Amino acid sequence: MRIPATFIAALSLFALTAGGAAAQEKSLLVQSTTSTANSGLYDYLLPIFEKKTGIKVNIVAVGTGQAIKNASNCDGDVLLVHARPAEEKFVAEGFGIERRDVMYNDFIIVGPAGDPAGVSGMKDVEAALAKIAAANAPFVSRGDDSGTDKKEKALWKAADVDVKSASGSWYRESGSGMGATLNTAVGMGAYTLSDRATWLSFANKGDFDIVVEGDDDLFNQYGVIRVDPAHCPSVKQAEGAAFMDWLLSPEGQAAIAGFTVGGKQLFFPNARP
């Protein structure tokens, strides 16, 4: 009798305090692609920015497609993704103020040590993809409308391979994030396209290695966009601007260049002043 009463009292306390923890300090919300989060870039950058400005940056890391969708629902103040055409569309439709290049790295194709399609060391990514298709070697696609997924689909198109009809056979769409897709690829010994940052910081590599890299077509540009307050009145304008300006400033750009994993730089700043 007495015990349930205290139990209930304790629970009510939880319920009362639960809402209060949220944002009381200055903060902003970034809708971001996963690679920047999973590689640890934000864990490195944000403390520097927060220390300088006192603004807390909250990151929601989802695929580029979903990040853009969330931002166009006004559920974010800044968008940081990597799918230029979709980004430009976002701005053109009036959701974002302006799109700025912030940094780049590149995509790579990773595959098992056995290299069943024999593509290891190839420079021409379209030719490599065509070879994988010809060998019916398993390939795992993100299949989640993310920046990487959009890029991969474009590459297949350029390689003139119809992956749609192969879906379910050698071409397998995981419908999930980069990390989960890499886990799947490693699990089934399949090739996959990844951004270099996620791959380098990925811990479950198994016997996998980079098989194709260095093609200009594998260039991976990250863009940053402020959500337009004209479209979304709830947007935190000042904080969003402060964060974006800092990212593009010489100081922010230097910080991006300073982030390494295992001695390797993952992102290369290229904001135009």
Partner 1 sequence: MSDFEQAFALALRLLFSFDPALIEIVALSLKVSLSALFLAGLIGLPFGAAVAVTRFPGRGGVIILLNAMMGLPPVVIGLLVYMLLSRAGPLGVLGLLYTPAAMIIAQTILIAPIIAALTWQVVESLEGEYSELFRSMRVPFHRRVPTLLFDARFSLMTVMLAGFGRAVAEVGAVMIVGGNIDHLTRVMTTAIALETAKGDLAQALALGFVLVLIAITVNGAVIVIRQAARRRAYA
Residues that bind partner 1 (CB under 8 A): 1, 3-4, 7-8, 11-12, 14-15, 17-19, 21-23, 29, 34, 38, 43, 58-61, 70, 72-75, 177-180, 182-183, 201-205, 232, 234
Residue closer to partner 1 by CB (options 184, 253) is 184
Least distance between partner 1 and beta carbon 54 (Å) = 15
Residue closer to partner 1 by CB (options 4, 85) is 4
Q: Are 266 and 201 in contact (CB under 8 A)?
A: yes
Q: 14-43 as b/e, with b when 16 or more CB fall inside 10 Å?
A: eeeeeeeeeeeeebbbbbbbbbbbbbebbe
Least distance between partner 1 and beta carbon 139 (Å) = 19
Provide the CA 82 distance to its chain's centre, in angstroms: 7
Backbone conformation region of residue 134, classed left if phi is above 0, alpha if psi is from -120 to 50, else beta = alpha
Least distance between partner 1 and beta carbon 272 (Å) = 30
- Tokens encoding 183: 């886990």
- Tokens encoding 122: 């190839």
Q: Which residues pair with 9 in a beta bridge?
A: none
Least distance between partner 1 and beta carbon 231 (Å) = 10
Residue closer to partner 1 by CB (options 42, 170) is 42
Residue closer to partner 1 by CB (options 118, 189) is 189
